[in-house]
Each structure stands twice: as C-alpha cells, then as structure tokens.
C-alpha cells in the first residue's frame, strides 16, 4: 500500500508539473457544498473567509489576489496590506460589500451567510475539509483557480511524502504496541472531533488508534463512560484548550486513564491541529513522533538513510569565508537544515553555547524540525554535534555551531556597512513558545537556543571587542523584541519579552584591521546593533508571522485575550446576548479609530503595571467618550461589564468601555433610556 501510494502521488505530481504552461479559462468544478461553479477568469479581488484556504493561497504565493481575509488568517507581512473582514464566525458584510469581490471562499459553516453574500454578485466557492483527501483536492483546486498548478503539485507532494514516510515507519511497529490517541477540545466540558472528522484521520495517519464514539460532526461531547472505555494513552490539544488539563483532567474519573497518569498530554498550534491545509504532512509527522518517540528513535525503524540531501548557497562577502550554504540532511527520517559558514583559515570564536574556541574551520546554526525534537534527546548537545559532523565532515573541535528549532528557511541575513567596515548578522528566531521577560519569569529548564545570532565582520576583533559584541548584540535583540511588543509566553498580559530564555550568540574574530571595542559608542557597535535589530525583527516575522504593524486581534491573542471569552459564562446583558456583544466588538475593532483606542490601552497598561503612570483620570474620560460615540449619546459613567479579573486593569477598562458602548447602542436599551 505504501509503494502504491507513493507511485500515485508521484504520477499526480508529474501530471500537474508537466501540464502545458498556457492556462485557459473558464474553469468548471463542483465545490465542497455540491454547487456547480464556473470561474471565467483569474480572480482579482478575493475574500477568503476560510483560514485554511488563506493559508494554502499564501503557500502557493497567490496572496496578490487576496482583497479581504478574516483575522484568523492574517499572519505575517504577506497579509499586512490585506483588509480584515472580521472573524471566521461573524465577518462584516459591510466591509465585504465595500471590497466588491469577484470571488468569495467560504465553508459549510457559513451556510446562513451564503444568502447574504449572494447580494455581492461575487462567485461563491465553498471549500470544506472533511478528510485528508478533501484537503488535497482543495490544494489542487486552488492551484487551478489561481494558476498555481505547479506550486500546488509541489505542496501536495511534500505533504504526501511526509505522510508516506510516517506510514512506513509506523508499519514497523507491532499492532499490539499501537497507542490509543484522542484529541480533546472545549472550555468547560470535554469534547472531541466526531468520528467523521479529518482530525480523526490525523490520528490514524500518525499511526494512532482513534476513538469510535458513534457520533459525527466537527465537535462532540465525551461522556465519562466513553473516556474510561477508550482509556487514551496519548492526549493532544491545541494551545487554546490548555485550561481543560486543570479544570477536567485533574479530576476523577478523567484523570484515571493512562495518558494522564503517564503525563502524555501534548499541545500544538491551532493552525496545525484545527486545519488540514498546507502543513498536513508536518503535523502528522510531529504527532506521530510524539506518540512513538522510543520507536522512532530506533535505527531499525528508519526508512531513509542519514546524510546530506541538498544544499543552497548564501552570499557573504568576507575574504576569510570560503563557502556559505544551507545544507538539508536526513536524521531520524526527518529533514534537518544547517547553516554552514566555512573559513579558508582557522578562526577564533566566542560562543555563549561553547565559550572560546581556537582553530575553528566552520561555524553555523543547525535546525532540527519539530518531529525530531523529542528523538534522541538523551544524546544531548554531543548528539547534535554529531549531526553537524555529518554535514560538515569536520570534527566537533574544529566547528562552532548553535542549535535551534527555528526553521533555517526563515533565516534572516542582515548586512550593515560604514565606509570600509561591514558587519553581518545571521539570525533565526522563534518567540511564540518560550519568550520570557528576564527578572520577571521563572527559569525552568535549558535547551539550545531559539533566537540564535551569528556575528561576522571584515574586521579583526580583539578578545575584548568580541565579549563587548555580546552585550551590544543582546541589547539590540532586546530592543527589537520590545519595539515589536513581543510578549512573554508566561506573563504576556503584563510583560514584554526580552528574549526567549534559550538564546545564543556566536561571534567570529575575523580578519582585517584590528579593533578593540564593539560598544554602543563605536561604529562597529553601531553596525552590530543595527544588523542584529533588523535581523531579529525579520527572523521573527519569517518564523512566527509577527511584525510591528500586526492587527489588534493578534495582539490581544498574545495576551491570552479572546474576544469571544471576555464575558465569561454570562449569557446576556438585558436583551443582548454575550455572543451578539462579542460579534459587535469584532465589527467595532475593524474600525481603526477604536482599534487604535484599544492598542493605546495596551501601551498605557504596560506603563501603569510598572508604576510609570499612576493617575488614570484622563484615560477614564477617554473611555467614556468612546462609549458615548458607540452608544450614540453622552455617557457620564461606565457600568461594570464583569470582565475577567485576570485581564490587567487598564486593558479591562478599555474593553469595558467598548462593550458598554456597544451594549447601550442596542435597540432595546436605547428604547428604555428614552
């Protein structure tokens, strides 16, 4: 079956790759809802209400056609200039009509909205993921619609090859050792995807045994009897479902299963768990490696030979650098990616990972992918150095490498020059999972770095200058994160991050004019700081899709604030339901005036929490003004909307003002006031 699957995948890829380059319209097909659709020409103004479709279009480099997306799909600078139309569940019809789209992509969950969307005269295409095959079909269909057939074929082949590798690895595991796996969902009650969900297909593709509850649908309840009968050995969820571990899994009978007893509960990004889009193969691989870490670490279960697959050059204009490249290599059947900088003569380096080393012939940064993070972990840093040996052919004492979980495809190369002086900063950065505020957050563990910086120049740095460069680079890294308002992963509501807690810097001595200082008052220090600052911000965007001008919904999410969870368990305020209030808040925040008010509250909140602001009278008055604008009449006092006390005070004040103004604007409330 594995070989047949690979052959069919290859034939499909070749068929699409070798198709004639001329592209013809119209294109006719039947969408996921069973509706016949004809696309007469390449769409120019597309509104995507499906985050999965948006993700695929970005992967196919078709973002120039996007004219509107939901805030769930707005990630990275690729989407920076694309207007937001609201959230997935409640997009703004007014904004969609203003865009005047020629194509709207929606899902089966937008069925009630479909009739209203027909008034836009746009072509409607429903793309719903019911299975992994349906996801593949969506990729191919979008490739056809947007004249990206080759890109779609390549994306599909990558996903299918990854899944086929996992299938072959799992086939080596005896049936009696297969593990029972469940994906949990919900907030106050335990839920899971229905038997017919693509999320259950994820589990099976990863070699797990999925539950059969005889319930269908996107999300279904799990009874205590269901839970105990299935007795999961592995539990996983998206990050937004972490509260279930404390609320439910810590209590009986929910805690009385193998997965909880053995602490085999794992969390992944919602972009992976809740979508079957461009990263299906990655998620299946990562999930499988979490389910079977011991089995996947065994050489007898390897499918591919270890070693270099390919490499691509990186240009560094330095006399003592003979070669710079990113090499792809296979380890544990997954692709590691290594930045390698080779020298034509031995160099001295200073590394925060290894200290000072002489006689170094190569430095770099080694990326091991998420599926490999837990494999061979007992080998430690020495095991990672052996991976580098395979790539460079050099003994560890001749190399100086950093190690990271940030993809080397997202490397930022920042070059800064002044007259004859040049500095390079080669940066990888990931800040979503373990960004910290030093002096505020607890130290819990250590592993090789997440923000990694390699510094090289065309000058010869003294030992003093090399150590001073570490301080300059660290200050620039922190300035870059703080200016982007990157939040601590542990105390993000109150604190901006200063780093990730696992960062490393490597400085190469270099050749040329000898310099004794790299502090902030020197030209060398200035170039180092500017190169690092620019490199860190670019790398963070490349890896995490975070950039300075990101939207207010992203910034709230970074503070663990969900628009739809603000009002807690309260069902309604007067005749206005909390759902209606939340949906209206989304609509209000699409207006830059009110988004700006809330964004200002975030900055004021940081200052207030640190004691830099004591008197909030002016901000209180501003809040009443905003509430009055939304209400349509003057507001002299703000009622308490009972928002969570976990939200910092100033942020709660701003959200309260917005929601109270929305509440007052409701028809019944205005009628009562009059």
Nearest-angstrom CA–CA distance, 486 and 542 = 14
Question: 132-145 and 198-205 helices cross at what angle (nearest 10)?
Answer: 110
Pairwise pLDDT comparison (382 vs 112), residue with the higher score: 112
pLDDT tens digits along 2-28: 444 444 454 454 554 444 444 588 999
Q: Quote the tokens at residue 436.
A: 């910290």
Residues 548-563 have a mean pLDDT of 92
Q: Quote the tokens at residue 418.
A: 């002044």
DSSP letter for 462, please.
Answer: P
Confidence at 673, pLDDT banded by 50, 70, 90: very low
Q: Does the structure show a pLDDT above 90 at 236?
A: yes
How confident is the model at residue 384, as a pLDDT? 79
Q: Does the structure show a pLDDT above 90 at 442?
A: no
Alpha-carbon 203 to chain mean position: 21
Nearest-angstrom CA–CA distance, 521 and 160 = 54
How confident is the model at residue 20, as a pLDDT? 44
pLDDT tens digits along 144-180: 999 999 999 999 999 999 999 999 999 999 999 999 9
How confident is the model at residue 353, as a pLDDT? 94
- Residue 39, Cβ neighbours under 10 Å: how many? 19
pLDDT tens digits along 607-652: 999 999 999 999 999 999 999 999 999 999 999 998 988 899 999 9
pLDDT tens digits along 451-486: 999 999 999 999 999 999 999 999 999 999 999 999
Q: Does the structure show a pLDDT above 90 at 335?
A: yes
CA angle 142, 146, 152 (to 5 degrees): 50
Confidence at 90, pLDDT banded by 50, 70, 90: confident
Nearest-angstrom CA–CA distance, 90 and 109 = 11
Residues 368-388 have a mean pLDDT of 80
Residues 297-319 have a mean pLDDT of 94
pTM: 0.91
Contacts 24+ apart (CB under 8 A), 270-273: 270/238, 270/239, 270/240, 271/51, 271/55, 272/238, 273/183, 273/199, 273/202, 273/236, 273/237, 273/238
Give 3-state DSSP helix, strand, coil % of the chain, rounded to 5.
45, 20, 35
CA distances in angstroms from 83 to 25, 70, 287, listed in the order given:
27, 9, 34
Nearest-angstrom CA–CA distance, 9 and 6 = 5
Q: Which residue has the tokens 């080669």?
A: 426
Q: Quote the tokens at residue 451.
A: 């923000």
pLDDT tens digits along 504-525: 999 999 999 999 999 999 999 9
Q: Which residue has the tokens 């460069």?
A: 469
Confidence at 601, pLDDT banded by 50, 70, 90: very high
Q: Does the structure show a pLDDT above 70 at 279?
A: yes
Confidence at 73, pLDDT banded by 50, 70, 90: confident
Q: Does the structure show a pLDDT above 60 at 449?
A: no
């Amino acid at each position: 079956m594995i070989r047949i699957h690979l052959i069919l995948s290859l034939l499909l890829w070749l068929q699409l790759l070798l198709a004639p380059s001329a592209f013809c319209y119209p294109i006719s097909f039947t969408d996921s809802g069973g509706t016949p659709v004809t696309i007469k020409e390449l769409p120019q103004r597309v509104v995507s209400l499906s985050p999965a479709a948006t993700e695929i279009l970005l992967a196919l480099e078709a973002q120039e056609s996007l004219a509107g997306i939901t805030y769930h799909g707005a990630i990275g600078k690729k989407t920076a200039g694309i207007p937001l139309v609201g959230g997935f569940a409640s997009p703004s019809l007014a904004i969609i009509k203003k865009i005047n789209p020629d194509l709207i992509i929606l899902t089966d969950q937008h069925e009630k909205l479909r009739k209203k969307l027909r008034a836009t005269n746009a072509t409607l295409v429903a793309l719903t993921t019911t299975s992994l095959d349906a996801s593949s079909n969506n990729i191919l269909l979008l490739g056809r619609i947007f004249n990206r057939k080759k890109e779609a074929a390549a994306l599909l082949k990558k996903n299918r090859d990854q899944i086929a590798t996992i299938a072959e690895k799992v086939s080596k595991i005896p049936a009696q050792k297969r593990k029972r796996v469940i994906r949990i969902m919900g907030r106050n009650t335990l839920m899971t995807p229905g038997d017919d969900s693509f999320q259950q297909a994820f589990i099976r593709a990863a070699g797990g045994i999925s539950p059969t509850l005889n319930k269908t649908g996107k999300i279904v309840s799990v009874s205590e009897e269901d839970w105990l009968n299935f007795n999961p050995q592995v539990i996983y969820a998206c990050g937004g479902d972490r509260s279930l571990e404390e609320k439910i899994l810590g209590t009986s009978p929910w805690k009385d299963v193998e997965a909880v007893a053995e602490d085999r509960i794992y969390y992944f990004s919602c972009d992976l768990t809740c979508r079957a889009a461009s990263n299906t193969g990655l998620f299946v691989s990562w999930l499988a490696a979490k389910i079977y870490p011991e089995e996947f670490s065994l050489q007898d279960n390897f499918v591919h030979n270890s070693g270099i697959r390919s490499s691509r050059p990186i240009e560094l204009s330095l006399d003592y650098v003979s070669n710079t490249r990113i090499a792809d290599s296979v380890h544990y059947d997954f692709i590691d990616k290594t930045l390698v900088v080779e020298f034509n003569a031995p160099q001295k380096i200073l590394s925060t990972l290894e200290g000072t080393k002489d006689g170094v012939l190569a430095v770099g940064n080694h990326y091991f992918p998420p599926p490999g993070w837990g494999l061979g972990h007992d080998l430690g840093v020495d095991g990672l150095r052996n991976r580098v040996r395979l790539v460079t052919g050099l003994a560890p004492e001749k190399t100086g490498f950093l190690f990271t979980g940030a993809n080397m495809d997202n490397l930022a190369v920042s070059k800064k020059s002044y007259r004859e002086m040049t500095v390079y900063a080669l940066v990888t950065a990931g800040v979503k999972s373990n960004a910290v505020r030093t002096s505020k957050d607890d130290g819990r563990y250590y592993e090789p770095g997440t923000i990694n910086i390699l510094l090289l120049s065309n000058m010869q740095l003294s030992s003093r200058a090399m150590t001073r460069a570490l301080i300059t680079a660290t200050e620039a890294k922190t300035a870059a994160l703080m200016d982007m308002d990157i939040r601590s992963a542990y105390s993000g509501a109150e604190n901006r991050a200063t780093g990730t807690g696992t960062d490393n810097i490597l400085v190469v001595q270099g050749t040329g004019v000898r310099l004794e200082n790299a502090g902030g008052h020197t030209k060398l220090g200035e170039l180092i700081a500017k190169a690092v600052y620019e490199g860190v911000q670019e790398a963070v965007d490349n890896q995490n899709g975070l950039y300075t001008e990101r939207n207010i919904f992203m910034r709230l999410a970074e503070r663990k604030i969900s628009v739809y969870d603000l009002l807690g368990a309260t069902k309604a305020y007067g005749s206005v339901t909390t759902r209606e209030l939340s949906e209206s808040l989304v609509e209000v925040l699409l207006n830059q005036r009110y988004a700006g008010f809330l964004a200002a509250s975030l900055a004021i909140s940081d200052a207030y929490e640190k004691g830099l602001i004591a008197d909030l009278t002016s901000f209180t008055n501003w809040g009443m003004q905003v509430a009055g604008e939304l209400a349509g009449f003057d507001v002299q006092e703000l009622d308490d909307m009972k928002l969570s006390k976990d939200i910092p005070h100033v942020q709660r004040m701003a959200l309260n003002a917005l929601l109270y103004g929305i509440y007052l604007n409701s028809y019944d409330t205005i009628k009562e006031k009059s």
